[in-house]
Every structure is written in structure tokens, then in C-alpha cells.
Structure 1
């Protein structure tokens, strides 16, 4: 894996460096040519400037004047040597350390014959030089001699080398500056934003799922940060959906287990009811006959009466157990709630009177109807009222309310109430509340089972009216026809 910085250097900086080097080399080559031409041009200009005084002195036969002109030019410092030849190519005046030999004089004679100005590189006195030749002519245009001005080639090469070294040093400095700009620019424009994104990802990975990346910087990186945040939001939504599905699946599994338990309990209860029904009937009948004997004492009668109450309680337990595991597979029907409540309250009044509990009921509207199974709803309501009667001290109230398209049947008592920590457990089978010996522990479990069958709500809160508990059965109200 290559870093973005290395990719930037390899794909941007390096190609730019190669391209710049080629351009600099071509520029140097062109500049060196121009400089060389300029240096050569200087010698040419010097030679042409000397031509007139040298011609005048040469035509006048004043060789001293020719020598003085050459010496004056030699003192300029840019000239390595200056030489004058006559029409036959013989050297007549010299300025400088190098002295032309026979070969140079022969070449001079040839150039006199040509009669043209000429510049060329050659060797003079063991040194590489650049010479510029200017013909010297008389009034009639006849060539009378030749002027040669010489400059060392080494001087030209040294100046060219100085220019070359300076140019490459400047280019190296430019490359260093460019490299620093690339690194700093990468850091400011890209690197710090990428590091921030990486840090955000690391924080999410380390256990901060609610953290989100800061959306700033260049548009491309801001887009990446925004996409990362959207992805994290999507993952959160997916996780929430998975949690809901997991809870629903757990709830369904729990419901299936409960149904399996209820099925097993139903089979067991049917067998128990069948096996205990006949013995309990015999015990109850024999107990009644024994109570009819006139010679029984008070203690024996109390014991027989207690036996009959326990037999009745056992029968009640079996009856409620059968109600708890019962399920009605018939189609649901429209149930008139008012009539159902009046029947339920009529069945519970004797028990209320026997316990000294005042049972109060609000007006029951006849037009309220719900969808369900009437027998099962009656069992649920009877058990709700019985539970309240068993927990109450002196009063139980039944209230019917309409609430957001639903009908609420509330049963309140003035008992000690249900502690907040017990409000879920009281619907478990065989969990009792109130005074010891009251109830079988199946009444509220039956109510919860019926509520689940009807997809109804079942709530327990504190009663504001009586000070005890308030149990609410929330049923969907059936819409009126027409």
C-alpha cells in the first residue's frame, strides 16, 4: 500500500521535475548558444573597431602606429592577442603572448586571398582560441593586409560553465521549494483532513457509535466525511431495526414457550379435573351428611365446615385452572359490553356482600360493543372484580371510559395497592397478593391470557379515587354499522 503523499510525489512532483529538468536543459542550451554568440560578437566588434586605425597606419607605412593600436586593444582585457598581416600573409605586428607561426601565416595568406571577414575556432600557441579575421583594404578596394583578433576559448567556456552551474543550482533550489510546497500543501489541503477522518473511524471502532466525522475541508473529502456519517446513520438504523426484530423474535419465542406450557398445563389440568372431580364430590357429599347428625359437637361441626370450604376452594382452583388454559377457537363475535358487565357484577354481588365489600358501578352505556369471545371476556371481568374484592378493605368500583377509539374497563379497590416492583409479576400464574388464604393465584393470569387473546391492553396503576390499585382492560371498540 502506497500513501497518498507518496502517490502525489510519484505521480505529480516527479513528472513535473522531469519535465522541468528537460525544459531547463533546453533553456540552458539555448542561452549558452546566445551567450557564446554574444562573446564571439564582442571580438567581432573589437576587430571592426580596430580596422580603420590599423588600415590608416598600415597604408601610411606606420608600423609603430599599427603596434600602438594593437597594444591599446590588448589592454582591454577581453582580447588574448591581436595580429596584423600584410598582403602576402607575413606578420607585421603582434600584441599578446602567443606568436603566429608559419602555419598561421600560410592560413592568413589564404584568408587575404579570400578577402572576407571570418570567425572560427582554432589552436594558437598551444591554446584553443576563437579568432576573427578582418581584411584591410586600400582606397581602391585592394586588400592590403589582414587583422586577426583572438580570444581564448577557455574564457568563453568558463563563462558558459558558470552560467550552467548557476542555472542548475537555481533549478535545484526551485525543486526543493516545490517539494516543500507539495508536502506542506498536501498536509494542509489533504493530510490533516484524512487524519481526522481516520481518527473518527478509529473512535467509532473503539466503541463510540454516536460519533460523527466533521464535514469540512475540500469538497471531495467533505463528501467522503458526509458519506461516512450517512453510512454510520444507516448502520444505526439497521441496528435499531435488528434490535426491534430481535425483541419481536424473543417475544414470539416467549409466546410460543408459554403456549407450549399452557398446552401441557391444559392436558395436565384436564386429567386432574377428571381424576379429582369424583373424589371431591364424594367428600363433599359425605361431609354434608355428617353435618346433619344431631349428636355432633360444635368442634366437629366447625371441622366439617372447614373441610367443605377447602373442598369448595379446590373445586374453584380446578375451575380457574381450566379457564386459564382454555382457548376459544370459534370466530370472534360482537359483544355488548354493558350487558356483559351487568351479568358479571350480578355474579359477584353475593361474594361482595359476604365479605362486606361495597361494589359501586358507573352508568353502563348499552351502545358500546367490542369484538371477541363473550365467555372468555366474562371470565376475565369476573376475575378482575374478584381480585379487587379479595384485596379491598371495604370498597370496589367499576368504571367504563372511552379513550381514543378504545373502551377502558377499570376496576379499583381501596386495598394496600400493588408495589411498583410487583406490577409485572402479579400476572404470573399462582402469584397472589392481599391477605393470606385469599385467591388461587390464577385470577390475574386468566385476565392476562384473555387480554392477549383479544390483543387488548392490561395496565395496573394506583387508584386516585379509592387509594388502592386500579386495573385497566383496554379493548378496541367496534365501529357502529352505517
Structure 2
């Protein structure tokens, strides 16, 4: 891999002249190689056709041998019928043959002797004489022993065709006969006497190594004889020994057949010897080695290629070198001019291109235009890069706050569910009249501390849910109080103090509450880190001043101060150790304040410590944010109105919250049914109606509180009037709550808040009815 990259690097860095020479040489070499391949293919085709022609001639010779064998068979058959002794013996055998009658042994001996005399004169491996029923009368030949007298060969197809005498004697009288594990190429003809078939004569040669050797001597070719895929005999015993398997594809006729055998390729000419009694085709394959025939031609051609090709490559390289010098010399001069301009910086100097080619003159004119526009282009790139960097920073911060919002939203939901059970059950216990004072006092303490947890969780949600920057009228003093409440415990635990000096009158302006909380929280976090090194009364003072058109918020501490006040709002600037700060907090703060049309400054106080000053315009009030928040908590109602004669369906995935609501509803006489999922609620609503439905907004499973509301709106439209949501986080679902305009009670709720909200819904239902 490294060598490949090095070669590519050297190629790209090489001169154009060197590339042209190398390209010409490579192109010439490729052309010579292509010519060699084309010539090699043509030679291979010609040799293949020549060998195929030779093998076809050998095939015709082999067919002629079969024809002569057939003529010899006919003559032998005639000779047998002309033998008085054999004819008399077979005539007597025919006349005396009858089912169940024992054949005379002297007749069989006479026929056997006559057959042996004929076989000795023919020099064949096999001779068989049968009667008209296909039973062996006598056998002989060099491949003794043959089939025994009386053996039934009537099932052999070639013998049946000879005895039937339904066609003239021809190629169909040749076939392969298997006797045991021996194969014979046989010809079979009928023995006629006075026009009647009295038997059959079969002559054949055994298909073995000797048979293959005789064929090789006759045709000077390699021979393979197969029965199906099994090799019966072969002159290529190293690659195809007898008993091995080979597949001979069928010849298409248009092209000669080429077979890969061992390491060589052979031109093949198969010739069928017909089939044996099992139906397996027996084939003689004549072979000529194409590899051995091409070897001397390829060697000669290779040497010619190396000598002529090398000479052609050298000549092409020399010609390309001469051409590149005449073409590239003016271009090299222009490159030298550009290098000198780059070194001296004299852009007013011009290249003398009157004697150069038109290409170099065009380059010179283009170079002058390029130098004029280069500066403007660089300025545009720098401006775009700054804008993209600012956009990327804003995107990163938005993604960070969105992830924090999702995390705290889920955490608040999981905290508020068990907290609802704790606070609610405590209030139920406090509602009892007969309760010991010590127990009541402890329960009051539990409720008070629970409300502290509620306030802390809600403040976290306000800071985490930074939305799209919607501006709403808000009280800056209240935003500061809420933000300080998030970190006050950390300050007190570290021995630090937060002092508030807030304007007495209402300090209102139009801004994004969540973004302002982010600004204040970042400054308070930095002050907390700085005050850790202060030994005496570490204090952070926050002051607000309301003027006619703007609001000023000042954060002052008595810490060590700021090392470089002018750089604190730069991206990624931080003086904290590695891993304890990203340097983005104050840069985000600066961006938020500027987005609100305000300003923020940082300096060191004369008496010591750091000071951050935020100035914000009041702006034009927009619609209140409370429209999409939970409804204000209603005041307590007198005990005389505690009765609630309504049927209520309670839906919540937290069993303790369902149990709490059932206990509250039971205490006021309401008929309540509780379920643990939206799916159970739908099944119950299919069977009956309820006056009021109280559902958790976030529930696991296929049906959440929002899905349940939409189902009721589609199937029980009147049920939406008495629909009440309870949830631990209204900020995340503000858009949905604003859309449906349904009641929403924030967890954890008090008993009075819960009952008052249900009575409002019940009262509206009664009024509408």
C-alpha cells in the first residue's frame, strides 16, 4: 500500500516531458502486446482447426474400419453356413430343440469345434455363436473364456437386432457388449440357412489397453475410451488411468472440442461405439495436444515480441522526448517567470509572450486577470469562513441545550411521579382531624421539604427547556430569583453568599425567559468557580436598576478578578484546567444578550473582584407565556363544597399516583375507576362513559395521554369538556396544551388544587347541560 502511494506521488510530481515519454513508451508496449495477443489467438485458432481436421480424417478412417469389420462378419457368417459339418450340426440342433429336452453334447461339441477353427483364422478376441433364441451354442477367441454354452444373451440389444432381421445389415449391428467386467466392441449378424435365421454370429475385440494401443499406432493420436464417465482405456495413463472419471461434453459441430486434461489442452474428436446393454454410451475420443503443438510457435513468437517490441518502445520514447522539448520549452519559460514574480512580489512585471505560442499568450493574459481578482476572492472566503464558524457555534450550543432539555424533562417526569404520591398522601394524612401534634408537625415538615424539591425540579426545567427564543413580557427580578434558587444550595454548601439588591418596582421587559436564565446561570457558575480561592466571606452581589428604556443587571464578586477581561467572550477561551471548562459559556452568553439587542461587559472592580454588567432594552410586550403553561393553581375551597357527585376515570402508569387520586376522589364521594395505561382506558370507554377523565400526559406504550385525548375527541367528542391532564413537565408539551386548550395540573399537586380543578370541570359540565 505504501509502495503504491509512493509511485502515485512520484507520478504526480514528475515533469510533463517525463510523463509524455513514459506514456508513449507504455502505449507502444501495450500496442505490441495487443498485436502479440491477437497473433497468438489467430495461431491458436489455426492450429486448433488443423488438429480438428486431422482428427476428423481419423474419425472417417475408424468408420471405414468398422465398415470392413462388418463386411468380414457377413463373409464369416456365409462361411459358417457353407461348412457342411457346422450346418448339419445346427440343423439337427434346431430340429431337436424343444422345451425341457436335453441337448445332445456331441452336437454342442461339434459346433464348438467348428467355431474354434473359424476364431483361430480370424484372430479376434471374441467369437460367439447363438441359436435363434439367443442362447450360446459355442464361443471362442483370444479373450477366453467366453460365455458358457447355454447362456442366454437374448437381452443384448445388438443380438436382438441381428436375430430379428428387420433391417439390412449396417452400423446398427455394431455395439458394445459387457461380459462381467470386460467390455467388447462387437459386430453381430444373423446366420441364415435357406432364407431362415438359425442363429447369430458375434465377433469383437476387447476394449482395453491393447485396443487403445492398436488405435494409437493406426492414427498417431492419443486415445481415450469411456463408458459413460468411466475411462475403459487411455494412452494418457498419467492423467486419465483406467477406472478414473472424465466428462466429455457434446461437440457443437461449429467449433472443435477442446478439453483440459492435466496441464495440457487437447483438441478432441469423439466417436460413438453405440451403447452397452445397460444403455451407457461407449465413446472413443481421438485427442491431439493443442498445448504441445503451440509450444514451439509461442516460444518463437515471444522472442520476436521481445526484440521488436523493445526496439519499438525505445524509438517511441526518443520521439516523444524530442516532441516534448519543442512543446514544453515555452511553457517552462512562463513557469520560471511566475516563480520569479512570486519571489519578488512585483505583480506589475509582465511576461514577454510575443514569440511564444498562442497557448502561452492565453496563459499570460489569464494570469494578469487572476492576480487582479485574487485579493477580492480571498476577502470573500475569509468573510464566509467567519460566518460559517459563528453558525456552527450556535448550532452546537442549540444541540447541547436540546439534549439537556430532553434529559431533564425525562428526569423531572420520573421524579414528579413518586413525589406526587409522597406529597399527596401526606396531605391526606394532614386532612385528618384526630392526629397527634408531634405527628402533624413531622408531616408538615415532610410536605414543606417536598415542596422544596418541587420548586427545584421546576427551576431546572425552566433553565433546560430553551426553545425557539420566543419573546414574552417577564419580570427580570423573578427570573434572577428562579436562577439563583438553582445554585443557592451549592453556594451555601461551599460557605459562599449570594446577595440580591433588586429594584423595588417591577422590572419588566420583552425577552426569552429561558435564554435570560441561561445568561444569568453562566455568570453565576463562573462566579462560583472564581470564589473557591477566596478565603474571607466569598460573596456574589446581584443588582438590578430599572430605567425608562432599559434594564441594567450587575454581577459583582470579591474573588481574584479576571486575567484578560477583553478576551472572556471569545470562543473556547478559558483559564480553567483541562477537562473543567470548554470556553463556550460566556461566548454563548454574549451571543444571547446581543440577540436581545443588549450589551454585556466584563471588568475588574477597583476594590478587587470581577464585575459583569448586562444592559437589556425593554422592548415591546408580546402575548403572555402563561397561555401555554399550566393553569394557575386555584385557591382553596371551603369544606362545604367538598362534595363531588361525578364519575371519574383516572389514567396513570404510576400505581401510587392512581391510588392517591382514587383516595382523594373517594373522600369527596366521587365514583372513580383507575387504570394503568391508555389502552385500558380506551377499552373501558368503549363500554361506558365518564363525566371527567384525568390522564397522565406522558405514559409508556402505544397510547400516551395525547393519544388518549385524540381518541376521545374522535369517538366521544363530549368527553373532551371534562378532560384533565396531569404531568410533571408542561414546558415540553406547551405546543400540544395550547392546541387543545384543555386543563392541565402540574405534578406534584395538593389535594385542594386537585379537587378545585375537578370541581371547575364538573361545574362547566353542569352549566353546559
**Which band: TM-score by shorter chain?**
0.3 to 0.5
Query: Structure 2-normalised TM-score?
Result: 0.24
Query: Structure 1-normalised TM-score?
Result: 0.35
Q: Which has the larger radius of gyration?
A: 1
